[in-house]
Amino acid sequence: MRKINRPHNRQVPRPPKILKQCSFCFCSARKSFAFLLILVFFLSFPSFVFSQEKNPSKYGGQLVLATTSDPRSFNPIVAQETSTTAITSHIFEGLTRTNGVTLKVEPHLAQSWDISPDGLLWTFHLRSGVVWSDGVSFSADDVVFTFNDLIYNEKIPTSARDAFTIDGKIFKVEKIDDLTVKFTLPFKFAPFLRGMSQEILPKHRLERIVQENKFNFALGIDSDLKDIVGTGPYQLTEYLPGQRIILKKNHLYWRKSLEGEQLPFIEKIIYMIVQSQDTLLLKFLDGEVDYCSLRGADYPLLKPEEKKKNFTIYDSGPDFGSNFIVFNQNDGINPKTKKMFVDPKKLSWFANREFRRAVAHAIDKKRIIDIVMNGLGYPQDSAESPSAEFFYNPKVIGYDYDLAKAREILEKSGFTDRNGDGIVEDKNGYRVEFNLYTNSGSTDRVQMAAMIRHDLENLGMKVNLVSIEFNDLVSRLVSTYDWDAVMIGLTGGIEPHFGKNVWASDGQLHVWYPRQEQPQSAWEKRVDDIFNQAVQELDEPKRKVLYDEWQLIVSRELPAIYTVFGANIFAVRNKFENLHPTSFGGAFHNLEEIFIKEEYR
C-alpha cells in the first residue's frame, strides 16, 4: 500500500529583483560583456547570501514507527512503561536531558543551574519564551506544580516519587520567580541532574483535576487528545486502539537548530501497533514501516535485502538489559510455617561461593550467543553494560567456559559422584538437585536456561527447568521466597544508582536475600557503603572509582552469575538525514534534528 504524503508548505526562495532588470539590458559588445560579467556576478550573488534558503527546505514528511503494545496511558506520572514513555517522550519534556551520543546531561527546559557549595541547594534558571502547545507560557509554576502537587501527592501512586525521595525524605521545591526554581535536597544526590529529565506537566490544565482528585485517571487513552498539552516537539492527534497513534508537529515548539531553524523538521510521526515481531519484519520489508529493531536471528533475513529495499542496518553495540542466574541464599525462617525458606541442604550449596564459581564456569557464553542470538551478542562479566561507557568497568573477573575446571572446583569443595549415577553428591551425601525457574514469556531466556541446564547436567547437577508465568515468578522472588535458582533479566541503564534496590542489602530486589536487617556478609556491607557513598559523591571520577569497585566485588562474590548481552541492532530506511544511532539512544534520540530527504517527502 502506498502512503500518500501530505502536501506541505515549501518555502521556495524568490529571486531578487536585481536579476529581472539586468536580464533586459541589450547593449554594445563591450557593454554587453560588462553587463554579462555583472549578470554573472549578481546571478551568483544570491547563492552566497541565500545559500541556506536555496537549499531545499528540510521540513515535512512522516516517520512511521512500530510499537508492540498499546500505550497504557498518556499520563507520564502515573504510567512509566516503555509503551507509554515512547509516546509521552515526544509530548512532555524535563528540565534536563541526557544526550543520546555523549550520554552527558544537557540543559533542556532549564537553561542553566547553580549548585550551592554544600551540594544541597540547586537553583534552576528556566528557559524563557517556552510555551505550552495551547499557547500558555511555561513558567516555574508548572515545575513546582509537577513536583509538589503531582509527584509528591500522597493520593497519586507514581514511581517518580521514589526517584526523588532519599531515605524517606522528599525535596523542597520552591518558586523564586517566574523563571527560577529552587530545589533543596536533604542529602547530596549525584543522580539528581540526570533524574531531572522528569516530565513537567502544565499547571493551568491539571490544577483543578488534581483538586477534584481525578488525576489518576486523567490524560488516559480514553481522554480527548486535545487535552494532552506539553512543551515537546509533537502533539497527539489520533489514537485508534490496537491500530495506531499519530503525532503531529507542535508549531509552538521552542527549540531551534544550530542554524536557527525552527524544530522539529518531520511533520508527522505514526506509531503502528504491531504485536508480533515477525509481522513487523514483513511490514518493514514491505516499506510500510521505517524502523525495525532486530533480534540476532532476524539479521540474515534482512541484511541481504539492504540495498534492494533501501535501508541500513546499524549494530550499535551491546544492549543494556542483562540475563543472569541467581541462587537463593535466604537463611530466614518463614513466619507462617516456621520452617526455613530454603531447604537447609540446598542453602549450604547456594551459599557456598565455590559452588557458584563452578556454575559460572559451566556457562557456555559463546554458544549461547551463537545459538540464541545468531552470533550477534557479547559475553557479560560485569554488572554494567559496556554501552554505559563511563561507569563500565572492564577489569572484572571473568569466567570462561571450562567444565573440567568447574568439576575441579566442585571436587575441592566436597562435591563428587560417589555412587556413579552421574549426579554429584555433597559432603553429606545429598544428591545435588535443584529447580531453575524462569518466566515462560521470554523464549530467548527459556532457551538460554535450557542450555545452561544441560551444561550443569554434564557437570553432575540435576537441574529441573521450571518455566512459569511471570506473576508467579515475581511472587516467589518478592513474597514467598519459594525458589532455588532463577534466571531473570533486568533492564539496565547508565546510572548505577537507579539499580540500588538490587544491590543494597535491605533492598526488596536484592534477589538472593532481600530485605536484610543487617548486611549478611562483609562484601554486602561494603557494597552498601559504596552505594551510600557514591550517591552523595558529586565528583564523577570519584564516583567511578567506587562503582568500579562494586563491579569487581560482584564478579568475585557472584551473587548474580551473568550470561550475555544481546546486540542492539536496528534497521532504518534510508530516508533520513542527521542520524546518529547509538545503543543508548537508539536511532531517533535526536528526533527533532532529523529531517527527511527531499525525494521521500
Partner 1 sequence: MLKYIFRRILISIPLLLGISFLTFVLIQVTPGNFFDSLKLNPQVSPETIARYEALYHLDKPLLQQYFYWLKNLIKLDFGYSFFYNCPVSSVISGRLFNTFILSLASLIVTWTIAIPLGIWAAVHRNRLTDKILSVFSFAGLSMPSFFLAMLLLFLASQWGGLPLGGMRSANFDDLSDGGKIIDLLAHLVIPTIVISLASIASLQRIMRGNMLECLRQQYVLTARAKGLPEHRVVYVHALRNAVNPLITIFGYHLFDLLSGAALIEIICSWPGLGAVMLTAVRAKDLYLVMASMMMGAVLLLLGNLLSDILLAWSDPRVRYD
Partner 2 sequence: MTKPRKSLSQFQIALGHFKENRLAVVCFWILVIFYLSAIFADFLSPYSFSNEDRNYSYCPPMEIKLIDARHEKKSIHPYVLGVYMTFDEFHKRVYKTDSNQKYPLKFFVKGDAYKLLGLFPADRHLFGVDAPGRIHLWGADSRGRDLFSRILFGARISLSIGLIGVTISFFVGLLVGATAGYYGGRIDNILMRVCEMFMMVPGFYLMLALRAAFPANLSSVQIYLLIIVIFSFIGWASLARVIRGMSISLKEREYVLAAKAMGLSDLAIIVRHILPHTLSYSIVAVMLSIPGYILGESALSLLGLGIQDPFASWGNLLSDAMNIAAVKFAPWVLIPGALIFVTVMCFNVIGDCLRDCLDPLLKSEVRS
Considering only residues 239-278, where is the footprint of partner 2 by CB under 8 A?
Answer: 277-278
Considering only residues 461-490, where is the footprint of partner 2 by CB under 8 A?
Answer: 464-469, 472, 476
| In the complex, minimum distance from the CB of residue 165 to partner 1, in angstroms, rounded to a whole number | 8
Half-sphere exposure of 455 (CA within 13 A, CB side): 22
Asked whether the beta carbons of 586 and 338 are under 8 A apart, the reply is no
| Binding-site member from 227, 370, 389, 425 for partner 2 (CB under 8 A) | 370
Residue 293's closest CA among 271, 315, 320? 315
**DSSP string covering 131-146, please?**
B-TTSPBP-HHHHHII
| In the complex, minimum distance from the CB of residue 495 to partner 1, in angstroms, rounded to a whole number | 10
Nearer to partner 2, 443 or 491 (CB): 443
| Binding-site member from 18, 397, 403, 509 for partner 1 (CB under 8 A) | 509
164 binds, among partner 2, partner 1, none (CB under 5 to 8 A by kind): none
Measured CA to CA, the distance from residue 547 to residue 537 in angstroms comes to: 11
Measured CA to CA, the distance from residue 27 to residue 349 in angstroms comes to: 103
Using a 10 angstrom Cβ sphere, with 0-12 exposed, 13-18 middle and 19 or more buried, the burial of residue 208 is exposed
| Binding-site member from 443, 479, 491, 533 for partner 2 (CB under 8 A) | 443
Greatest Cα pair distance, the chain, in angstroms, is 115
Asked whether the beta carbons of 6 and 268 are under 8 A apart, the reply is yes
User: 113 is written with which cell numbers?
Assistant: 543551574
Q: In 3-state terms, what secondary structure has residue 180? A: strand
Q: Is 475 in the site for partner 1 (CB under 8 A)?
A: yes
Q: Is 165 in the site for partner 1 (CB under 8 A)?
A: yes
User: 349 is written with which cell numbers?
Assistant: 550449596
Q: Is 343 in the site for partner 1 (CB under 8 A)?
A: no
286 binds, among partner 1, partner 2, none (CB under 5 to 8 A by kind): partner 1
Nearer to partner 2, 14 or 307 (CB): 307
Q: Is 488 in the site for partner 1 (CB under 8 A)?
A: yes
Measured CA to CA, the distance from residue 48 to residue 52 in angstroms comes to: 9
Residue type, 523: W
Q: Is 12 in the site for partner 1 (CB under 8 A)?
A: no
Query: How many residues belong to the chain?
Result: 601
Nearer to partner 1, 47 or 276 (CB): 276
Nearer to partner 1, 291 or 415 (CB): 291
Q: Is 221 in the site for partner 1 (CB under 8 A)?
A: yes
Residue 355's closest CA among 432, 452, 450? 432
Contacts 24+ apart (CB under 8 A), 37-46: 42/18, 43/19, 45/18, 46/13, 46/15, 46/16, 46/19
Q: Is 281 in the site for partner 2 (CB under 8 A)?
A: yes
Q: Is 40 in the site for partner 1 (CB under 8 A)?
A: no
| Binding-site member from 128, 243, 310, 464 for partner 1 (CB under 8 A) | 243
The residues with which 137 forms a beta bridge, in sequence order, are 131
Half-sphere exposure of 140 (CA within 13 A, CB side): 16
Element (H, E) at 19: helix 17-22
Q: Is 478 in the site for partner 1 (CB under 8 A)?
A: yes
Q: Is 141 in the site for partner 1 (CB under 8 A)?
A: no
Q: Is 321 in the site for partner 1 (CB under 8 A)?
A: no
Q: Is 469 in the site for partner 1 (CB under 8 A)?
A: yes
Give me the residues that bind partner 2 (CB under 8 A), please: 277-278, 281-282, 296-301, 303-304, 364, 367, 370-372, 374-376, 435, 437, 440-441, 443, 446-447, 450-451, 453-454, 464-469, 472, 476
Residues that bind partner 1 (CB under 8 A): 1-4, 64, 69-70, 72-73, 75, 78-79, 154, 156-159, 161-163, 165, 216-217, 220-222, 240-243, 270, 272-276, 278-279, 282-283, 285-286, 288, 441, 469-472, 474-480, 488, 490, 498-502, 507-509
